Amino acid sequence: MSNSATVQSVDRAIAILEILAREGATRVTDLATELDVHKSTASRLLAALEQGRLVEQSGDRGRYRLGFGVVRLAGAATAQLDLARESSEVCRRLAGEIGETVNVAVPQAGDAVNITQVRGPSAISGHNWVGQGTPAHATSSGKVLLAFGALPLPAELERYTPRTITTEAGLGLDEIRERGWATTVEELEVGLTAVAAPIRGNDGSVTAAVSASGPSYRLTRQRLPEVGELLAEGAREISRRIGYYL
């Protein structure tokens, strides 16, 4: 299938979801008419959406409605929005106390993806990490998510700098779980150090991480335990805000 045909199919699938959201249970023939496509094309798109549980057949034969998969996706989006909102005040306080940029990251497609960023008073870089996926094994947030099972360990650990750790043993995941925070020292970028701690959801599982990052000459190894404990306490507060009670 060509790229243009693929995009057209995606557009039509989105249109089907929008129609079902507006009209409720709808017949295949009505969907085909509104999309101006053959009934077989509409049926093929519905089959693909049904496989992903985004649509399902209603009790009336030949009618489709939105499926539970849409609820699941909406719930995940709402959870991330809640996390971003509830963590913002804590992140601002941590950024002021630590003096460096503070981020909240969640697991997504094998990476740690930042959803919130607050720049500290000493931050000199304008880089915005929000929305960017970062490799789990080379970031402090990613190491936290790996250590607590929120992300799977990749089969191959890519090297980004001379200090990138490329073995499972070298990541020290057991130590991270015991200590309660993780570090990276120039493992993703030369000159960049970061520390992160786990955020827990209402069921107690680790669902995100809060981190502080800054230049290695300022975020020195001597400071890492202090920063780690500040982040761990901040992470516990964020966890309480989103429904986890210790």
Q: Does 78-241 match 3-66 at the fold level?
A: no
pTM value?
A: 0.69
Beta strands in the chain (DSSP E): 26-27, 55-57, 63-66, 101-108, 111-118, 133-135, 182-185, 192-200, 206-215
Give the pLDDT confidence score for residue 127 in this predicted structure.
62
pLDDT at residue 58 is higher than 80: no
Percent of the chain past pLDDT 70, that is, above it, reads 88
Give the pLDDT confidence score for residue 164 in this predicted structure.
97
3-state secondary structure of 13: helix
Reported as a single tens digit per residue, the pLDDT across 30-39 is 999 989 889 8
Dihedral sign of CA atoms 173, 176, 182, 187 in order: negative
Closest C-alpha among 75, 69, 88, 91 to residue 20? 69
Q: Which of 5-14, 15-24, 90-99, 186-195 has the lowest mean pLDDT?
A: 5-14
Cα–chain center distance at 226: 26
Percent of the chain past pLDDT 90, that is, above it, reads 50
The answer for residues whose C-beta is within 8 angstroms of residue 236's C-beta and 6 or more apart is 246
Closest C-alpha among 12, 21, 3, 62 to residue 42? 12
- Domain range summary for the chain, segments of one domain joined by +: 3-66, 78-241
| pLDDT class of 245 with cuts at 50, 70, 90 | low
The answer for residues whose C-beta is within 8 angstroms of residue 215's C-beta and 6 or more apart is 124, 191, 192, 193
Give the pLDDT confidence score for residue 52 in this predicted structure.
82
CA dist 56 and 206 (Å) reads: 32
| pLDDT class of 84 with cuts at 50, 70, 90 | confident
Closest C-alpha among 122, 136, 143, 78 to residue 223? 122
CATH number, span 3-66:
1.10.10.10
Instruction: Answer yes or no: are the C-beta atoms of 80 and 115 closer than 8 Å.
Output: yes
| pLDDT class of 80 with cuts at 50, 70, 90 | low
CA dist 233 and 229 (Å) reads: 6
3-state secondary structure of 206: strand
Give the pLDDT confidence score for residue 143 in this predicted structure.
98
Backbone angles phi, psi at 199, to 5 degrees: -105, 135
| pLDDT class of 123 with cuts at 50, 70, 90 | low
| pLDDT class of 79 with cuts at 50, 70, 90 | low
The answer for residues whose C-beta is within 8 angstroms of residue 132's C-beta and 6 or more apart is 113, 114
Give the pLDDT confidence score for residue 195 in this predicted structure.
98
CATH number, span 78-241:
3.30.450.40
